[in-house]
Amino acid sequence: MAQKSSLNNRPLEIRWHGRGGQGAITAAKIIAQAAYVKGYQGVTAAPSFGAERRGAPVSASTRISHEPVLVVSQVENPDIVVVLDHTLLKYPDVTQGLGKNGWLVVNSPLPPKELGIKGEFNIATADATKVCQDLGLIVAGLVIVNTAILGAVIKATRIVDLPTLEKVMRERFSNSTVDINLAAINKTHEITKLAK
């Protein structure tokens, strides 16, 4: 099988940062699947490789392209960085490599300008934690923000639209949990603040 890469068609790269147990990897997979449904032929979604520990900083990545993705190495210059837990912003590697015109999407109660993050990228914030608390999206005492933050991601970046995301969510989640997750996505989408 012949495989060809296209440099002009470099994949869109998303890096996700969260804490073990928050669902960053699931979020990376949902966006990949939604992008595929939307017509992107090449998508990959991967956790950071190796051991992962609950509560410890973890990352994941998604690549999206109109052609099959041939790059298998780690994401170096993400177009989008998504931070599920704003306490991770103090680590410099979270925004590392995020370029001009990129998007930093953060689950934070603060508006973008008050995050105190400097860079040439755009910033979007939404208090996904509050949205999920209000909706009762809590599992074993943990507020589960990984689906909610997708609302902010797609509002900022428009990789996929809400109906596509909803379609994928309905495929992946059981009937009993899908509605609360969709409500969290919609609400977060609505309240997301953008700063370009």
Partner 1 sequence: MAIQKKSNIHILDGNQAAAIAAKLSRVQVIAAYPITPQTPLTEQLSQYVEAGELQAEYVAVESEHSAMAVCTSASLVGARTFTATSSHGLAYMHEMLHWAAGARLPIVLACVNRAIGAPWNVLNDQQDSISQRDTGWIQIYCRNNQEIMDTVIQAYRIAEIVHVPVMVCYDGYILSHTEMPVDIPDQKDVDRYLPPYKPHTVLDPANPKNYNLVTLANPRVGVDGKLCHGYMELRYLLQEALQNSRETILQAGKEFNEVFGRDYANMFWEDREDAEIIIVAMGSLAMEAIVAADMLREEGIRVGVLGLRVFRPFPKSDVVRALRKSKLIVVFDKNISYGSEGATCSEIKSALYGTYINASIRNFIVGLGGRDVKARELVDATRKAIASLKETVINPDYPEWICQI
Partner 2 sequence: MGTRECNHICDESSPGIGEAGITGEWRIVVPSIDEKKCIPARSNKPTCFLCWLYCPEAVITKGIPPSINLEYCKGCGICSQVCPVQAITMLPEEKM
Between 71 and 115, name the residue whose CB sits nearer to partner 1.
Answer: 71
> From partner 2, partner 1, none, which one binds at residue 41 (CB under 5 to 8 Å depending on kind)?
partner 1
Q: Is the dihedral of CA 68, 172, 161, 150 positive or negative?
A: negative
Q: Which is nearer to partner 1, 93 or 179 (CB)?
A: 93
Query: Could you count the other beta carbons within 10 Å of the beta carbon of residue 144?
Result: 22
What minimum distance in Å lies between the beta carbon of 195 and partner 2? 20
Nearer to partner 2, 22 or 188 (CB): 22
Cα within 13 Å of Cα(143), Cβ side? 17
**In angstroms, what is the minimal distance from the CB of 55 to partner 2?**
4
Site residues, partner 1 (CB under 8 A): 1-7, 29, 32-33, 36, 41-47, 49-51, 68-74, 76
Spatial CA neighbour of 172 closest among 40, 45, 18, 15: 45
CA distances from 140 to 21, 29, 136 (A): 11, 22, 11
Could you tell me if 71 and 18 are in contact, meaning their C-beta atoms sit under 8 angstroms apart? no
To partner 2, the closest distance from the beta carbon of 90 in angstroms equals 7
Give the one entry of partner 1, partner 2, none that residue 43 binds, where binding means its C-beta sits below a cut-off of 5 to 8 angstroms depending on kind: partner 1
* Closer residue to partner 2 in complex, CB, 53/196: 53
Q: Specify whether the CB–CB gap between 146 and 169 falls below 8 A.
A: no
